[in-house]
Amino acid sequence: MWLNASCLLEFQIPVPTPFLLMLRPRSGRQQWIAREEYVLSPSVAAAEFTDSFGNLCQRVVAPAGYFSVRTSVDVETADGSDTAPWAPFVEVQQLPDETLPFLYPSRYCESDRFTEMAASIATGQAPGYNQCNAIVDYIRSSIRYTPGVGQQIISASEVNQLGNGVCRDLAHLGIACCRALSIPARMVVGYLEGLEPMDLHAWFEAYVGNRWYAFDPTQPNMQGGRVAIASGRDAADVAIYTQFGDPVGLLNMNVKVERMPGPPY
């Protein structure tokens, strides 16, 4: 399907403030960006680099006053996310080098604390995809999904204790459990068509059957219409914006995802 996905961020900046932005979806095997707008207002010099996860990042110093970042993409993406029940566990020695960082604990995914819990959830499951599915089922039944409730980022341990969380929190818990089973898992931030209420979304991917598969503990089935913006070890790696110095007010954030009848031409 073809989608137009857009995000507007508006700030009121008291003093010139450095930002790091991560809002540019990249073309890849799962999605193709045919048209992209990326407008900083007022227009300021920006430098771009690619981080170690392959995300395109922009560095900018926002001037004092009103500052906005507006991005919009026309993108072709799959109608349905691939699923692969019974896709096998990949032995650690067979994993591609680049998947290894996603085996370790990270800021919000303390996988070293989930060894027992993950083993218990996965009991009786075929190693690999089915274990991941069991983890997602566990999260769906144990953690209440509370979309849109803004909060400080909490870790997998904390969300597990709290019993509810936003999409990001549920993804953290899924990632922590997968890693505890020696399955590489990573966080994805992006757009999801039809999300209610519309917002940026987070899900996770696990590496089984020799590729990454998407899992989304907040949605009843693995519908498509996904546009990945950035991926990393957890929310610490994939903040769509990071602001340094004294806290700055986000006046407004507006996310839209709309079906297009076809390619943009």
Q: Which residues bind its own copies (CB under 8 A)?
A: 18, 20, 26-29, 32-41, 43, 45-52, 54, 57-61, 70, 76, 91-93, 97, 100-101, 103-107, 109-110, 112, 153, 182, 236-237, 242, 244-245, 263-265
Tell the smallest beta-carbon distance from residue 196 to its own copies (Å): 29
The secondary structure of the chain in percent helix, strand, coil, rounded to multiples of 5, reads 20, 40, 40
Tell the smallest beta-carbon distance from residue 71 to its own copies (Å): 10
Tell the smallest beta-carbon distance from residue 176 to its own copies (Å): 11
Residues 28 and 145: their CA atoms lie apart, in Å, by 30
DSSP string computed for 98-160: GGGGGGS-BTTB-GGG-HHHHHHHTTTSPTBHHHHHHHHHHHHHHSEE-TT-------HHHHH
> Which amino acid is it at 69?
V
191 or 218: whose CB is closer to its own copies? 191
112 or 137: whose CB is closer to its own copies? 112
Tell the smallest beta-carbon distance from residue 248 to its own copies (Å): 13
109 or 240: whose CB is closer to its own copies? 109
Tell the smallest beta-carbon distance from residue 220 to its own copies (Å): 28
Contact criterion met (CB below 8 Å) for 11 and 79 = no
155 or 219: whose CB is closer to its own copies? 155
Q: Find where tokens 């560095």 sit.
A: 59
193 or 237: whose CB is closer to its own copies? 237
Q: By C-alpha distance, which of 230, 189, 227, 250 is closest to 72?
A: 227
